[in-house]
Amino acid sequence: MAETPEDKIVMVLLILLFPPLAVWYKEKTCGVGVCINVVLYILLIFPAYIHAVYVCYIRDRQ
């Protein structure tokens, strides 16, 4: 399913506010990506942002 411009805006806002929620919004399920992001967010906050950007934008292009 193609993403609408509204979906992209929501994704950016979620990444900025709480990265695990953005990953969940993208994957539509509580999978491995969400769990990894939650652990990264608890241990080190900055890597969670990098992982969320990767999952939400870069992984789809490959």
Domain count across the chain:
1
Tokens of 2: 């193609």
Closest CA to 48 of 40, 57, 39: 40
Tokens of 5: 């411009």
> What are the pLDDT digits (tens) for 2-30?
688 898 899 999 999 999 999 999 998 99
Mean pLDDT of the 23-42 span: 94
| pLDDT for the residue numbered 37 | 97
From the centroid of its chain, how far is CA 37? 8
Residue 11, domain extent? 5-61
